[in-house]
């Protein structure tokens, strides 16, 4: 950031000085050093201190800054914060937030506390707006939208429209566009602020509005809203109900949070973590999120053990067969994850050419043949070099080649099938595909060995 303008930086010296001020309850220093600082920076600062200390800082700052900080906080930490404040205090903060941000905070409380907080909100319109939003699920457009927006009747003049902006100026922080509605409240278009500035005072909205506005419906899923806003490069999108009536507006900052969360969720899925956890969650929560996939992997491993057991005699005769088990299973796992992740990416990105299934599989086959041949030749060479054992080298390299082919095929087909059944295909890039391919690899390997050694 440009330092001549944004001077706030969390230096070690500043943190120490701030800690000292906290210890001495030096309200003067805290107030003056945080004056004019962006609430997002104060939020980052507060992460360094404990709840007690943060509460003291809160008591020294203006209510609207406190509200902005409360809005900025990570969910986990906010939950702890919320329990520190009385319903009356929370209501005061909510007065300073947009209805959607207020609703997000209320979502984190028990129904009982929610009602108490709402009772204390003095601005009745705000209270009813928030209540309205609480009716929607958090992950649909209705749960993402704010009620605050500027709307103008299509029959108004520019002057009337500006008057409305003046009235709502305090409620709506960022305007972007004025939404145009008909007499029934139905969304019919929008006017950008630029157009309003450049229009003559007497002009009517009807003469200058743009009737090709993109809108979303209240029940639309947040991921779809994110895709639409991304596709059309929108910084805000109006939300209409089933009858086309304008009921809210979703701004890009909320959608960026959705995009970030989706990416995080997918990463956790790929890593085999079954619920949304973070490093600072409790030991029990972390263990519980990780256990399901570990058990799946374990069951797979035990099944593998039973399977290898079938070839007990082969191993007793040729113990060297056992040496290459990890090579076979690891390669199968790696190839499977690579294949499925490429398919998952295509599925997430429908703008890319979508060839037919057959052409897709043919291509996967070609790639697998190229990689399989290269790996098999390398392995053949190495095994001959170190073990000087032709049947063994042949067994391992033929099995490896087959595993690469099969794992590619499985890795490609699994996410496509999951997607068909409405399951998140990213699930296929995780321990699921590794476990399946481990078993597949073992089957191939021992079958090849059995054949080649004429056992």
Residues 78-117, interacting with a second copy (CB under 8 A):
none
Applying the rule CB under 8 A, the residues between 288 and 307 that interact with a second copy are 290-291, 293-295, 297-298, 300-302, 304-306
Among residues 34, 133, 149, 228, which is the contact residue for a second copy, using CB under 8 A? 228
Applying the rule CB under 8 A, the residues between 52 and 71 that interact with a second copy are none
CA torsion, ordered 378, 379, 384, 389, to nearest 10 deg: -150
Applying the rule CB under 8 A, the residues between 380 and 409 that interact with a second copy are 382-383, 386, 400, 404
DSSP-based helix, strand, coil % in the chain, nearest 5: 65, 10, 25
3-state SS of 269-332 is HHCCCCCCCCCCCCHHHHHHHHHHHHHHHHHHHHHHHHHHHCCHHHHHHCCHHHHCHHHHHHHH
SS3 at position 276:
coil
Count of beta carbons in the 10 Å neighbourhood of residue 328: 23
Q: Specify which residues 140 forms β-bridges with.
A: 221
Among residues 343, 406, 413, 418, which is the contact residue for a second copy, using CB under 8 A? 343
* Cβ 123 to a second copy shortest distance, Å: 21
Residue closer to a second copy by CB (options 214, 423) is: 214
Count of beta carbons in the 10 Å neighbourhood of residue 454: 6
Q: Specify which residues 179 forms β-bridges with.
A: 151, 190
Contact by Cβ (8 Å): 252, 236: yes
Question: What letter does residue 428 receive in the DSSP assignment?
Answer: G
Q: Specify which residues 246 forms β-bridges with.
A: 240
Residue closer to a second copy by CB (options 131, 347) is: 347
Q: Does 157 bind a second copy (CB under 8 A)?
A: no
Among residues 69, 149, 240, 405, which is the contact residue for a second copy, using CB under 8 A? 240
Applying the rule CB under 8 A, the residues between 177 and 216 that interact with a second copy are 186-189, 192-194, 196-198, 211-216
Stretch that binds a second copy, among 54-62, 109-117, 261-269, 414-422 (CB under 8 A): 261-269
d(CA 218, CA 145): 8
d(CA 385, CA 377): 12
Q: Does 156 bind a second copy (CB under 8 A)?
A: no
Residue closer to a second copy by CB (options 36, 422) is: 36
Contact by Cβ (8 Å): 43, 78: no
For every residue of 364-405, DSSP letters joined together read HHHHHHHHHHHHHHHHHHHHHHHH--HHHHHHHHHHHHHHHH
The contact mask relative to a second copy for 18-47 (x = CB under 8 A, - = no) is: ------------------x-x-x--xx--x
* Cβ 288 to a second copy shortest distance, Å: 9
Among residues 21, 54, 328, 448, which is the contact residue for a second copy, using CB under 8 A? 328
Residue closer to a second copy by CB (options 12, 166) is: 166
**CA distance from start to end of the chain:** 71
Q: Does 414 bind a second copy (CB under 8 A)?
A: no
Number of H helices, E strands in the chain: 23, 6
Among residues 94, 106, 252, 413, which is the contact residue for a second copy, using CB under 8 A? 252
Structure tokens at 208: 């200058």
* Cβ 143 to a second copy shortest distance, Å: 18
Residues that contact a second copy, how many (by CB under 8 A)? 137
* Cβ 62 to a second copy shortest distance, Å: 15
* Cβ 276 to a second copy shortest distance, Å: 10
Among residues 104, 148, 222, 266, which is the contact residue for a second copy, using CB under 8 A? 266
Q: Does 170 bind a second copy (CB under 8 A)?
A: no
Output phi, psi for 204, to 5 deg: -95, 150
């Amino acid at each position: 950031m440009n330092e001549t303008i944004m001077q706030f930086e969390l230096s070690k010296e500043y943190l120490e000085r701030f800690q000292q001020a906290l210890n001495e309850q030096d309200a003067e220093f805290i107030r003056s050093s945080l004056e004019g600082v962006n609430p997002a920076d104060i939020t980052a600062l507060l992460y360094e201190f404990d709840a007690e200390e943060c509460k003291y800082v809160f008591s020294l700052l203006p209510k609207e800054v406190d509200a902005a900080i409360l809005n900025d906080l990570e969910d986990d930490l906010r939950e702890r914060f919320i329990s520190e404040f009385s319903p009356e205090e929370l209501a005061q903060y909510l007065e300073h937030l947009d209805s959607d941000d207020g609703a997000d905070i209320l979502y984190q409380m028990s129904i009982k506390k929610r009602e108490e907080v709402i009772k204390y909100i003095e601005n009745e319109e705000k209270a009813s707006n928030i209540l309205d939003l609480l009716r929607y699920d958090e992950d649909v457009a209705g749960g993402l939208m704010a009620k605050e927006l500027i709307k103008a009747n299509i029959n108004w003049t520019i002057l009337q429209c500006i008057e409305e902006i003046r009235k709502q100026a305090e409620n709506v922080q960022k305007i972007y566009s004025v939404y145009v509605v008909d007499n029934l409240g139905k969304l019919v278009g929008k006017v950008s602020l630029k157009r309003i500035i450049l229009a003559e005072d007497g002009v009517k909205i009807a003469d200058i509005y743009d009737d090709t506005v993109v809108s979303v419906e209240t029940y639309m899923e947040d991921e779809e809203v994110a895709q639409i806003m991304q596709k059309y490069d929108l910084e805000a999108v109006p939300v209409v109900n089933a009858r086309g009536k304008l009921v809210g507006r979703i701004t890009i900052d909320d959608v960026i949070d959705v995009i970030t969360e989706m990416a995080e969720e997918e990463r956790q899925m790929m890593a085999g973590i079954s619920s949304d956890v973070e490093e600072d969650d409790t030991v029990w929560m972390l263990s519980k999120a990780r256990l399901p996939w570990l058990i799946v992997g374990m069951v797979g491993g035990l099944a593998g053990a039973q399977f290898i057991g079938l070839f007990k005699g082969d191993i007793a005769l040729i113990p060297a067969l056992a040496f290459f088990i990890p090579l076979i299973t690891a390669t199968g796992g790696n190839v499977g994850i690579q294949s499925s992740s490429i398919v998952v990416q295509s599925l997430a990105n429908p703008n890319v050419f979508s060839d037919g299934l057959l052409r897709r599989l043919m291509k996967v086959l070609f790639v697998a043949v190229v990689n399989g041949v290269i790996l098999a030749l390398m392995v053949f060479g190495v095994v001959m070099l170190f073990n000087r054992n032709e049947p063994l080298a042949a067994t391992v390299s033929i099995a490896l080649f087959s595993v690469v082919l099969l794992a590619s095929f499985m890795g490609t087909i699994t996410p496509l099938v999951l997607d068909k059944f409405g399951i998140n295909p990213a699930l296929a890039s995780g321990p699921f595909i590794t476990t399946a391919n481990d078993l597949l690899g073992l089957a191939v390997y021992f079958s090849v060995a059995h054949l080649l050694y004429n056992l």
